[in-house]
Chains A and B, each alone.
Chain A
């Protein structure tokens, strides 16, 4: 195994594009090292992106949106008060990843690129409409986070492509987001179901709503019908019931030791209802 501490993303792409064996980019390493140690993935080349200038930066753009460097850790994300105010749901998804020790290293980008259907930060990013900047052998492009996951452990990034930054849209007025997951204990477990809701209100009426579910299909996914169930409503019982039905209808889960398919479908509806209520309260400025 060769270790490359690259000084630019162009160098990362060059090494990755010319590599003949297994390549892994290294952000926080909390997935890469576990897979390395378990013998699941034995990279020939590890390309550490943490020395690229700017990868630890969190910056507010002129339009009010946010750019988050590819190596920003969970701890660093959670310490950024203004970002937490704008996108509490995105941040709480990332902050649920692992322990204090894991938080010191783990990144949004790594969570996304590891491709787990249960990745805790990904539903919040999708619901927020986040995008990522990608650099590869054929140049740069911007992709929606929702277009990155392909199947368990696989992404739609092309060989040699690396994510350089995560972009969040401007929060704008009267918006709120939220993420909830169900695990059998209070800390340190993998989501049985995860659900993020992002919405905007005008007075009491919801004008925009996006819902994403995790751990109930081969990838984290947007559920457009669930968002549509909320739009035009005041989060009344009828709208919430329609949300629950739409969320459950989208689930195609597996049964495993953490929960049966039936249980996951049931919980998806419960979490969607609760996450929508939290996002709504946040949009009204009632809770942090």
Chain B
């Protein structure tokens, strides 16, 4: 099986890896680049635990081949805190206890960040639809929605 050499940018830094064309971006992130924050909940696009940004677009990394990211930029949960300071979304998730086992949390944070990048004041309905592809089996979604709303308010300078 011939492996393909891929160069890409992950969380702002140049990255390279050798991949079997069958491998998904999620496998590459976790097994080759040591970025285990993105989780595999289903492997079939249903749960959102593997959410990343690919050239700024929210995608499920289990539905992207590793070879497809040649020359692109990938942003994962590992890039969310800057210089050790948690992102407002991360802080509000902790404050609201918007997580229990935490398996869904990286994907939800990445997805919520993508929402706030294009809508700094989403309604509850908008948040729920945007996150409909992020499944959580423990927490229930109310705390998650409230954490996103509070983070949005803080980021707007309203809190």
| Interface residues in chain A, defined as those with a beta carbon under 8 Å from any beta carbon in chain B | 1-3, 5, 26, 28-30, 33-34, 36-38, 46, 48, 50, 73, 75, 98-102, 104-105, 186-188
- A38–B44 CB distance below 8 A: yes
9 additional contacts (CB under 8 A) given A99-B133, A101-B133? A37-B24, A98-B45, A99-B45, A100-B132, A100-B133, A101-B111, A102-B60, A104-B54, A187-B132
Q: A100-B132, A101-B51, A105-B64 are in contact. Are A33 and B70 (CB under 8 A)?
A: no
Q: Which residues of B contact A5 (CB under 8 A)?
A: 67, 70
Q: Chain B, 123-159, contact with A by CB distance < 8 Å: what is the 0/1 string?
A: 0000001111110000000000000000000000000
Q: Which of A75, A100, A104, A188 contacts B46 (CB 8 A)?
A: A188
A178 CB → nearest B CB, Å: 19
Q: Is the interface of B mostly helix, strand, loop or mixed?
A: mixed
B65 CB → nearest A CB, Å: 7
Closest 9 CB pairs of A and B: A99-B133, A187-B132, A3-B21, A104-B57, A101-B60, A104-B59, A33-B63, A3-B67, A101-B133
Q: Which residues of A contact B37 (CB under 8 A)?
A: none
Residue from A29, A48, A100 having most chain B Cβ neighbours under 10 A: A100
29 contacts between A and B (CB under 8 A): A1-B20, A1-B21, A2-B21, A5-B67, A28-B63, A29-B65, A29-B68, A30-B45, A30-B63, A33-B45, A33-B65, A34-B44, A34-B45, A34-B63, A37-B62, A46-B65, A75-B57, A99-B48, A99-B133, A99-B134, A100-B111, A100-B133, A101-B48, A101-B51, A101-B60, A101-B63, A102-B45, A105-B63, A187-B129
Q: Which residues of A contact B60 (CB under 8 A)?
A: 99, 101-102
Q: Which residues of B contact A33 (CB under 8 A)?
A: 24, 45, 62-65
- A46–B21 CB distance below 8 A: yes
